[in-house]
Amino acid sequence: MSHLVIIGAQWGDEGKGKIIDHLAKDFDVVARYQGGHNAGHTVKIGDKTRFLHFIPSGIFRPDKICIIGNGMVIDPGELIKEINTIKADGIDVGGRLLVSSNAHLIMPYHYLLDSSKEQDLGEKNIGTTKRGIGPAYADKMRRIGIRICDLYEKERLRSLIEENLKEKRLTLKKLYGLNCPEAKKIEKEYLDYGKKIEPFVTDTTLAVRKYYEEGKKFLLEGAQGSMLDIDHGTYPFVTSSSPCIGGVGTGLGISPRKLDKILGIAKAYCTRVGSGPFPTELFDELGNQIREQGKEFGTTTGRPRRCGWFDVVALRHAIWVNGFTSLAITKLDVLDDLDSLKICVKYKNNGNAIEDFPTNLSLLENCKPVYETLPGWKKNISGIKDYAQLPSNTKSYLKKIETLSGTPISLVSVGAERGETLVK
């Protein structure tokens, strides 16, 4: 296998961290291209569960180079904490963790703007992670953002902070009655962060090119999911970056022509955290059962995730937008106890059948799922090591997803452990 991109096919939390950790052994470089610490990737190795927010999930394999691309937004204080936690576990990151000098910084006022806007929206809130992600990306697009490279030019950093504070102070005070931290305090704090992360900071576009030309194999890691994409998701209930394939080129500086395979990761059911349309959501006891069984609580915020049946209409949208060459289906074991399973094959809206995922929010909000029902397998599948040994009802469920989506399944995950990933 050559260069591979891994992208969430649903609303995030599909179990990408585990699949990336599993696959990373066959690659040399693992690189992330978008998002920030709104993401929470979980990797279970032995009896230890580790959580990552910025650093690519390849970091637990000591010979892998891990890149934080220019398309990400970084709170350097939080990144330092993450690096220290990994180091405390005895994992050496020196020389193999690269942080883009062009990545934008999440500043203290971004957190304030994010949470106060959410509060202001009341019931209409997006349900963001309140990590300042949206305001940081907004500043990037407005060309007033502050980048990691600015941490090494003191005068420039000072003037950028002062310029930004002029308007942020006004907004925070006038709209939300909040005070902004002092420019000097921010400057001092960020200069200090700059020193601490300096050994990792580099031009990652050049590094990507160099490694590519040396023949190294790339695994590119998306955060969140396709349905949270700023362009192709359920706008405005989305994140502020491009988890979909388009984000790879802009977030790492590599042409899509250089990539070979694109693996879409989907859970065996659907979840969503935060607000926004979710046609197959279960509001009954079954939804609670799946949440408990699947431990569906946010890695970043601890929020309970909304749970529902597998949605092929949404999946087909993600397949088209990304061009998935195959799928990985995760957390299949969570459905072990169910008597029967449902797959949403189309929607109904005012009596009309809808086969294509609607991008119009009002239309989507009024869509009702149309299901096909399949028998459950009623067996613990977690210990199974070989795809062929899965119960026939499990295989039928997977076959149905393949047929309805027109995309082959190449991997299946039946538990949280490294070994519990089956190759089809």
Q: Rank residues 8 and 194 by Cβ distance to ligand IMP and give the closer one.
A: 8
Minimum distance from CB of 359 to ligand IMP (Å)? 17
115 scored as a contact of ligand IMP (CB under 6 A) = no
**Ranges within 306-365 binding ligand IMP (CB under 6 A):** none
Catalytically annotated residue among 3, 22, 41, 110: 41
Please choose, out of 15-23, 81-89, 123-131, 278-286, the segment that lies near ligand IMP by the rule CB under 6 A: 123-131
34 scored as a contact of ligand IMP (CB under 6 A) = no
134 scored as a contact of ligand IMP (CB under 6 A) = yes
Q: Rank residues 240 and 242 by Cβ distance to ligand IMP and give the closer one.
A: 240
Residues 358/367, Cβ–Cβ less than 8 Å: yes
Query: Which string of b and e fits 61-92 if b means at least 16 CB within 10 Å?
Result: beebbbbbbbbbbbbbebbeebbeebeeeeee
Which CB contacts under 8 angstroms, 24+ apart, belong to 178-185?
Answer: 178/112, 178/116, 180/108, 180/109, 180/112, 181/108, 181/109, 183/158
Catalytic site residue 41?
yes
9 scored as a contact of ligand IMP (CB under 6 A) = no
**Ranges within 250-289 binding ligand IMP (CB under 6 A):** 273-274
Please choose, out of 122-130, 208-216, 248-256, 257-265, the segment that lies near ligand IMP by the rule CB under 6 A: 122-130
Which residue is associated with the tokens 């693996």?
263
Catalytic site residue 232?
no
**Ranges within 12-31 binding ligand IMP (CB under 6 A):** 12-13
Which residue is associated with the tokens 């953002």?
145
CA atoms of 221 and 57, how far apart (whole Å): 8
The interface mask with ligand IMP, positions 218-247, x = CB under 6 A, is: -----xx---x--------x-xx-------
Q: Rank residues 194 and 233 by Cβ distance to ligand IMP and give the closer one.
A: 233
Cis peptide before 236 (omega within 30 of 0): yes
CA atoms of 256 and 322, how far apart (whole Å): 11
Q: Which residues are catalytic?
A: 13, 41
